[in-house]
Amino acid sequence: MPPRPLIIDCDPGVDDAIALLLALASPAEFDLLGITTVAGNVPLALTTANARRICHLAQRPDVPVYAGCPRPMLRSLITATEIHGATGLQGANLPEPTQPMPAQHAVAFLIEQFTTASAPITLATLGPPTNLAVALIQCPEIAQGIDQVVMMGGALGAGNITPAAEFNLYVDPHAARVVVEAGLPLTMLGLDVTHQVVTTPERLSALDQLGTPVGQAAAAMLRHYGQIDIERHGLAAPPLHDPCVIAYLLRPDLFAGRPMHLAVETEGRLCLGRTVANPCPNSSANATVIETADAAGIYALLTERLGKL
């Protein structure tokens, strides 16, 4: 199989960083065309610098990073520094990136790639989906160049930023609604599945024991990450959200889901950003909603791949 053309849209953020490392460690499966960044976990300048730091750590300065939208479409930006730290990569002490940065805006990059692609491109969204929504509004024709969108976001059960909403879609619910209603081949990995994928001490130790700069940086970031979620959701260990998207693209057999009709609340006061999903036949579904994951298999994949960097 030729490598899959892939663009990753993200807001690094610790779990975004682990997801980027997993993708960067999988060149046989991914032709990573570029990384686009958005404001989310931390402001845009930091998410962009962090994405570049991770490419430098993975010795992949060839992968271009494009800065995107500095705020949601309508709402003011809210961040998650209490979870990711003030730098966004709490625990890691990564050098400043030195590779040159393209001047093109992330939205322009997405439009250019999806309208000129010789083969449809997969887009993984790991943060608030502002860049994709703005690209769809500016140029609806990009849909023809999209193979599939795999989105980390949403929750059929409890939220994590409010009782009703997951962070990415709460930050920009209007963008999420544009994406969900665009008729794209969409797969959603929400909290219902990512909360099954938790970083136990044994899994953390396996990364640390890789004994490489990448393994030690990953372990250092994960050691502090997501403690709040343990208390908030009664989890046994911190959940690992964004790497589930990349693991799904690498090993879909580790996951299971159903076709559903998905909608995003943009009017509510208490439920703003909530995803409402109804299982339905493929014909009337607008998304595949992933519901279960093989956590042990995901961490084995993650550790094996990061060991290659």
Q: Nearest Cα to 48, choosing from 104, 101, 126? A: 101
By beta carbon distance, the residue nearest ligand RIB is 167
- Binding of Ca ion by 9 (CB under 5 A): no
- Binding of ligand RIB by 229 (CB under 6 A): no
- Binding of ligand RIB by 125 (CB under 6 A): no
Which partner from the list Ca ion, ligand RIB, none does 85 bind, CB cut-off 5 to 8 Å by kind?
none
What SS3 state is found at 212? Answer: coil
Query: Which helix H or strand E contains 81, and what residues bound it?
Result: helix 81-84
Distance CA(296)–CA(40), nearest Å, equals: 29
- Binding of ligand RIB by 5 (CB under 6 A): no
Q: Shortest Cβ distance from residue 89 to Ca ion (Å)?
A: 12
- Binding of Ca ion by 190 (CB under 5 A): no
Which partner from the list ligand RIB, Ca ion, none does 167 bind, CB cut-off 5 to 8 Å by kind?
ligand RIB
Binder of ligand RIB out of 127, 173, 215, 226 (CB under 6 A): 127
- Binding of ligand RIB by 15 (CB under 6 A): yes
Which partner from the list ligand RIB, Ca ion, none does 266 bind, CB cut-off 5 to 8 Å by kind?
none
The pair phi, psi for residue 76, each rounded to 5°, is: -75, 155
φ/ψ bin of 163: left (φ > 0), alpha (ψ from -120 to 50), beta (otherwise): alpha
- Binding of Ca ion by 198 (CB under 5 A): no
Binder of Ca ion out of 4, 8, 9, 16 (CB under 5 A): 16
Burial 221-253 (b: 16+ CB within 10 A, else e): bbbebbeebeeebeeebbbbbbbbbbbbbbeee
Active site residue 84: no
Burial degree of 78 (CB within 10 A; 0-12, 13-18, 19+)? middle
Stretch of residues binding ligand RIB (CB under 6 A), selected from 24-32, 165-173, 250-258, 301-309: 165-173
Distance CA(17)–CA(79), nearest Å, equals: 16
Which partner from the list Ca ion, ligand RIB, none does 160 bind, CB cut-off 5 to 8 Å by kind?
ligand RIB
Q: Shortest Cβ distance from residue 180 to ligand RIB (Å)?
A: 16
Stretch of residues binding ligand RIB (CB under 6 A), selected from 9-17, 61-69, 209-217, 268-276: 9-17
- Taking the least distance from each CB to Ca ion, the nearer of 171 and 210 is 171
Residues 117, 145 contacting (CB under 8 angstroms): yes
Stretch of residues binding ligand RIB (CB under 6 A), selected from 97-105, 162-170, 283-291, 298-306: 162-170
Q: Nearest Cα to 10, choosing from 50, 56, 60? A: 50
Which residues share a beta bridge with 301? none
Burial degree of 98 (CB within 10 A; 0-12, 13-18, 19+)? exposed
> What is the residue type of 62?
D
Select which of 84, 174, 195, 241 is catalytic: 241
Query: Interface residues with ligand RIB (CB under 6 A)?
Result: 11, 13, 15-16, 40-41, 80, 126-127, 152, 160, 166-168, 241-242
Which residues are part of the catalytic machinery?
A: 241
Residues that bind Ca ion (CB under 5 A): 11, 13, 16, 126-127, 242
